[in-house]
Amino acid sequence: MPGAGPVTRNTLRQQIAEALRDEVLAGRLPAGRHVTVREIAEQYGVSATPVREALVDLSVQGLVDLEHHRGFQVHRFTPDDFRNMVEARALVIDGIFRFATERVLDAAGSDGLASVRRRAEEAERASRAGDLDILIGYDLRFWGELGGLVGNPYISDLLHRVRVQGWAFVVPHLRRQRSLKGRLWSRHSELVDAVGGRDAVTAQRIIAEYNDHSLRLLDHLTAGGERPGGAG
C-beta separation of 162 from 147 below 8 A: no
| pTM of the shown model | 0.85
Q: Is 200 helix (H, G, I), strand (E, B) or coil?
A: helix
The candidate with the shortest Cα–Cα distance to 10, out of 44, 57, 42, 63, is 57
SS3 breakdown of the chain: % helix, strand, coil, rounded to 5?
Answer: 70, 5, 25
Model confidence at 169, pLDDT cuts 50, 70, 90, reads: very high
- Measure Cα distances from 28 to 32, 52, 74, 216 in Å: 12, 19, 11, 26
CA 91, 165, 189, 151 dihedral sign is positive
Distance, in Å, from the CA atom of 188 to the CA atom of 201, rounded to the nearest integer, reads 16
The sign one gets for the Cα dihedral 80, 86, 88, 91 is negative
Can you list the positions of beta strands (E) in the chain? Answer: 34-35, 64-67, 71-74
Q: List C-alpha distances in Å: 38 to 31, 49, 55, 100.
A: 19, 10, 12, 45
Q: What is the pLDDT of residue 42?
A: 94
* Percent with pLDDT over 70 in the chain: 86
**Cα–Cα–Cα angle for 173, 134, 57, rounded to 5 degrees:** 75
Domain boundaries, the chain: 9-74, 79-223
CATH class of 9-74: mainly alpha
CATH ID of 79-223, from 1.10.3470, 1.20.140, 1.20.120, 2.60.40:
1.20.120
pLDDT score at 135: 94
Cβ(166)–Cβ(150) under 8 Å? no
Of the candidates 61, 64, 59, 60, the one whose C-alpha atom is nearest the C-alpha of residue 75 is 64
**Res. 110 pLDDT band, cuts 50 70 90:** low
At 142, the pLDDT band (50, 70, 90 cuts) reads: very high
Predicted pLDDT at 232: 56
Instruction: Report how far residue 197's alpha carbon sits from residue 192's, in angstroms, rounded to the nearest whole number.
Output: 8
What is the tens place of the pLDDT at every residue in 26-83? Answer: 989 999 999 999 999 999 999 999 999 999 999 999 999 998 777 899 999 999 999 9
pLDDT of 2 strictly over 70 = no
Measured distance CA(196)–CA(54) in Å, rounded: 38
CB atoms within 10 A of CB 214: 21
Taking the C-alpha atoms of residue 73 and residue 66, their distance in angstroms, rounded to an integer, is: 7
